[in-house]
């Protein structure tokens, strides 16, 4: 019987010990700052009292904002850029051969009848493209054209580069080659953050895919290459006196106007392995008002407790 009571007493002591170990204290933590108003590129020093196991910092800047700790989805500008070039060793007179177009209802069938049946919006004016007046064989940067107004949410977007050669008898000679490279589709956040949506390779304008042509082209004159689009119309009398087009069309692109930029992440100021930290400095480069959050946490395998401290920092130019 004595052994039985001793066993009960031992178990009670163990339970009491475990209960004490399981307790997690609420962090004793506070933050102070000398001034809530600073100038851009001037250090802000945050002073701490208390020493929690963990301290995390949200500056309130894009990508480090407590409000978006669960995720950031926002409307973004969608931009397209590329380079084009004309190789002209002939007395060419045909210009404006390249058009950039966008469709939200193309069915994806790569034949000329289905391509021409789709509704295509000409967005060429959003870019600078190579012309005969440009220096021969010089790559011309298009600039980043905003194509957001032409995109319809919930529908696939197709982008096409269309080359057109007009009848030689009425429009004269064509340049030797017209080429396009460096296709880049990006999203641009409200903070100027860029995210790549598609490149030449991922957009699907590379072999073994082929151009869609409205007429017969001489062998090898227009085709898709691994890193560029190659356009060259017919020059033989039997083939060059008819309008002929060649289309390079992307795969369907899922590029709605809203973009998921993922979660805003905190900066780790202190972990349980660190000693006492009594201050932290941060520098803001842009003027504005920032909602600063410090997240202080005590934690072990049995649980955690958190204290949130918030300040408003005004940054002057």
Domain membership of residue 43 (yes or no) is: yes
Domain that holds residue 293: 25-71+263-316
Domain membership of residue 17 (yes or no) is: no
Cα–Cα dist 127/141, whole Å: 9
Burial (CB count within 10 angstroms: exposed 0-12, middle 13-18, buried 19+), residue 43: exposed
CATH code of the domain in which 34 resides: 2.60.40.10
The pTM for the full model equals 0.72
Q: How many structural domains does the chain have?
A: 2
Is the domain of 150 the same as that of 291? no
Last residue of a domain, one of 260, 279, 304: 260
Is the domain of 183 the same as that of 198? yes
Is the domain of 189 the same as that of 294? no
Is the domain of 104 the same as that of 249? yes
Segments of 123-235 assigned E as strands? 140-141, 145-146, 158-165, 177-188, 194-199, 212-213, 223-224, 228-231
Is the domain of 53 the same as that of 179? no
Is the domain of 96 the same as that of 213? yes
Is the domain of 233 the same as that of 84? yes
pLDDT tens for the 317 residues of the chain, in order:
445 544 444 444 444 444 444 689 999 999 999 999 999 999 999 999 999 999 999 999 999 999 999 999 888 899 999 999 999 877 888 999 999 999 999 999 999 999 999 999 999 999 999 999 998 899 999 999 999 999 998 899 999 999 999 988 888 888 889 999 999 999 988 888 888 999 999 999 999 999 999 988 888 889 999 999 999 988 776 666 788 999 999 999 998 878 888 999 999 999 999 999 999 999 999 999 999 999 999 999 889 999 999 999 999 99
């Amino acid at each position: 019987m004595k052994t039985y009571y001793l066993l009960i007493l031992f178990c009670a002591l163990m339970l009491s010990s475990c209960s004490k170990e399981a307790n997690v204290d609420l962090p004793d933590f506070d933050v102070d700052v000398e001034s809530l108003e600073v100038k851009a590129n001037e250090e802000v020093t945050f002073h701490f009292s208390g020493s929690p196991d963990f301290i995390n910092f949200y500056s309130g800047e894009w990508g480090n904002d407590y409000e978006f700790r669960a995720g950031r989805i926002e409307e973004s500008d969608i931009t397209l850029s590329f380079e084009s070039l004309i190789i002209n060793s002939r007395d060419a007179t045909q210009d404006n051969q390249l058009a950039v177009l966008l469709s939200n209802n193309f069915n994806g069938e790569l034949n000329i009848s289905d391509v021409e049946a789709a509704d295509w919006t000409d967005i060429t004016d959003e870019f600078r493209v190579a012309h005969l007046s440009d220096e021969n064989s010089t790559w011309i940067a298009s600039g980043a054209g905003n194509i957001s107004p032409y995109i319809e949410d919930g529908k696939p977007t197709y982008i096409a580069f269309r080359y057109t050669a007009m009848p030689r008898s009425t429009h004269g000679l064509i340049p030797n080659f017209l080429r396009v490279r460096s296709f880049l589709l990006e999203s641009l956040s409200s903070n100027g953050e860029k995210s790549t949506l598609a490149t030449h390779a991922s957009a699907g304008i590379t072999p073994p895919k082929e151009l869609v042509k409205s007429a017969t082209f001489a062998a090898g004159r227009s085709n898709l290459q691994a890193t560029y689009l190659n356009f060259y119309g017919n020059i033989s009398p039997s083939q060059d006196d008819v309008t002929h087009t060649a289309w390079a069309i992307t795969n369907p692109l899922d590029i709605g106007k809203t973009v998921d930029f993922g979660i805003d992440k905190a900066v780790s100021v202190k972990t349980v392995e660190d000693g006492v930290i009594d201050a932290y400095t941060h520098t803001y480069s842009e003027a504005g008002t920032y909602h600063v959050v410090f997240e202080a946490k005590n934690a072990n395998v049995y649980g955690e407790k958190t204290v949130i401290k918030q300040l408003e920092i005004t940054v002057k130019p």
